[in-house]
Amino acid sequence: MKILHCPLNGPRNITEFAYGGELKTIPDQMSCSDREWADYVFYEDNRAGVVTEWWFHTPSGYWFLAERNTLTDEVIRTFDAHQVFPNPHSNVLPEIITEAAEVIS
C-alpha cells in the first residue's frame, strides 16, 4: 500500500488522493492569448526530476502541494499551499518556487 502524507490529515492511503497537476503560474486572463491560456489549462511540462504538484485529499476536500521526483516516484515533501501562496488571490508564483524550477531545469 502506498502512503502519502497529507499536511492536514497525516499519512493516508494514496487511494484517498487525486492528482491535481503541476504547479504553474496562471497567465493574466485579460491580456494572454488564447494559445497561452490553452497551454496553461491543457498542457504540462512533464519534466523528469523534482516537480511541485497539486494534490487533493478527497475525504476532507483539502488541496495541498507536494514535491515529487517523477523519476523515482518519491515524494520529497508535502506542504500547505498557504506556505507558498500567502495571498490566495495572487496569480504569481512565489520566488522560492520560481528559483527551484530554474535549478531543476
- What pLDDT digit, counting tens, does each position of 51-103 carry? 999 999 999 999 999 999 999 999 999 999 988 877 766 555 555 454 444 54
Instruction: Name residues whose C-beta falls within 8 Å of residue 54's C-beta, 6 or more positions apart in sequence.
Output: 19, 20, 21, 22, 23, 63, 64, 65, 81
pLDDT of residue 89: 63
Residue 14: band (very low, low, confident or very high) from pLDDT cuts 50, 70, 90: very high
- What pLDDT digit, counting tens, does each position of 16-59 carry? 999 999 998 888 888 999 999 999 889 888 889 999 999 999 99
Longest CA span, the chain: 46
0.85 surpassed by pTM: no
Q: Looking at domain 3-104, what is its CATH homologous superfamily?
A: Folate-binding superfamily (3.30.2270.10)
